[in-house]
Structure 1
Amino acid sequence: MARTKEFDPEAALQSALELFWQRGYEATSMADLVDRLGIGRASIYATFGNKHDLYLKALDRYNENRDAVLLHELSQPGAALPAVRAVVRRFAAESSSAGQRLTGCFVTNTAAELGAHDPVAARKVEASWNHIETLFHSALARARAQGELPADRDPRTLARMLLVLMQGMRIVGKASEDPCRLRDAAEQALALLD
């Protein structure tokens, strides 16, 4: 007879996500995970695989949660440009806020720490960025079709610019305590939508 799990795998995955997000992959040991999750090493391996597998599952969870929020924000009926502007401004504010500033974005952190030497993590980062770009592109294409965005503006290149801006804001926000730097950059980029 199979044993039943004596812990909630979803809660454990969320705890692992938070720990990896705070510390990064390399700085998080299996002992740290055992302590944070409150379960034994064997249970971690049996449920999630090795540390790398667990990290990738945590990254997937982060993307699922973040993507659902972005999809909701950028796909509301009606005018599309106000939603795009709100998302960019939210990223600028979060990137300079005390709570988000030091942790940054889990995807951006993964790109910086693992992207150059971990092809699986790099593919997940690229997939995440492609999804964000697609969400922006769809909203900006809708804005152009509705006459909110000038006809000479290319929704695809604007979406790429916003993606790169937002990822950059997460990096700069981790080291800078000046919220004006991020806010000004966001507003300058948003001026391209006029």
Structure 2
Amino acid sequence: MSRPREFDVDRVLHQSMEVFWNKGFKATSYEDLTRTTGVKKQSFYCVFNDKRTLFLKALVRYREHSIAILEKLEAQKMSPLDKLESLRESLLDEEVSCRGCLMVNSAMEFGTEDDQVTGEIELMFAEAEHVLEKIIISGQEQQLITTRYSSKELASYLHNAIIGARIMEKSGASREQIEAVLRVSFSLISP
């Protein structure tokens, strides 16, 4: 008979995600994970099999949480431009900005060397673009956003600007530089 699990898997997964977000996959050791979570290495193995499996679960958790935030913003009763402005302001949150985005950081760390990591990154990006496109469609219908380009093209453009801002954050660009890039990018979708 196996011993019952002695830790909250959800809490440990969240704490592990934070470690990966701060250090990256390759630089994170089991010692980092056990020190942060208080869970012994063997217990990690029993639940998550290995560090890579834990990392993949952390990416899923990050994606689900991030997309839920975007979907909540999209569902709010405010104008599409106010939604985009709220998104732009959230991207400048100093508490998050020094770490960049876990998905962008992972894309930069892994490139295309791991199909499962790449798949999770691509899924997050596609889902984020889909939510952006819904906001843009609403703005186009209200003649608040340009129709010179399709909603899909504009969503892809804005998402690319957001990814670029996340790379700027991670590489140490100033808040003012990032804010300028985002301000110009978001203003280019005006009619």
Shorter-normalised TM range: over 0.9
For the pair 1:127 / 2:129, whether they are aligned, the reply is no
Identity of paired residues, percent? Answer: 26
Correspondent of 1:190 among 182, 186, 190: 186
* Contact preservation (8 Å) 1:56, 1:121: yes
* Residue type at the aligned position of 1:63: R
SS at match of 1:166: helix
**Which amino acid is 1:49 matched to?**
N
What value does the CA root-mean-square deviation take over the aligned residues? Answer: 1.5
Give the Cα–Cα distance (whole angstroms) in 1 for the partners of residues 131 and 90 of structure 2. Answer: 16
- Residue identity matched to 2:86: A
Give the TM-score, by structure 1 length. Answer: 0.91
Other-structure match for 1:29:
29
Correspondences of 1:139-154 after superposition (within 5 Å):
139-154=135-150
2:165 is aligned to: 169
Cα deviations by residue, 1:21-52 (Å, 9 ceiling, x for unpaired): 11100001122222222112221111112100
Structure 1 Cα separation of the partners of residues 154 and 147 of structure 2: 13
2-structure distance, mates of 1:127, 1:61: 13
Distance 2:14 2:103 in 1: 15
The one-letter code matched in structure 2 to 1:168 is G
2-structure distance, mates of 1:31, 1:59: 20
Q: Secondary structure at the match of 1:176?
A: coil
Residues 29-85 of structure 1, C-alpha deviations (whole Å, 9 max, x = no match): 122222222112221111112100000101111111111111111222342121012
Contact kept, 8 Å, 2:99 with 2:169, in 1: the verdict is no
Equivalent residue pairs, number? 190
Q: Which runs of 5+ in 1 are unaligned?
A: none
Q: Secondary structure at the match of 2:121?
A: helix
Name the residue aligned to 1:155: 151
Measure the CA separation in 2 of the matches of 1:32 and 1:173: 24
Q: Deviations over 1:89-111 (max 9, x none)?
A: 321x13xx2x3333111011110
Distance (Å, rounded) in 1 between the aligned partners of 2:60 and 2:134: 22
Q: Does 1:101 align with 2:121?
A: no
Q: Tell me the equivalent position of 1:136.
A: 132
Residue ranges of structure 2 left out of the alignment (5+ in a row) = none
In the TM superposition, what are the counterparts of 1:2-21 in structure 2 within 5 Å? 2-21=2-21
Residue 57 of structure 1 aligns with an amino acid whose one-letter code is K
Work out whether 1:45 is the aligned partner of 2:50: no
Using the TM superposition, name which of 152-161 and 49-58 deviates more.
152-161
Name 1:55's counterpart in structure 2. Answer: 55
Structure 1 residue 6 displacement after superposition: 1.0
Alpha-carbon shift at residue 115 of structure 1 (Å): 2.8
State TM-score, norm by structure 2: 0.93
How far does the alpha carbon of each residue in 1:140-190 deviate from its partner, in whole angstroms, 9 at most, with x for none?
Answer: 011111222233342111100111111111111122342221111111112
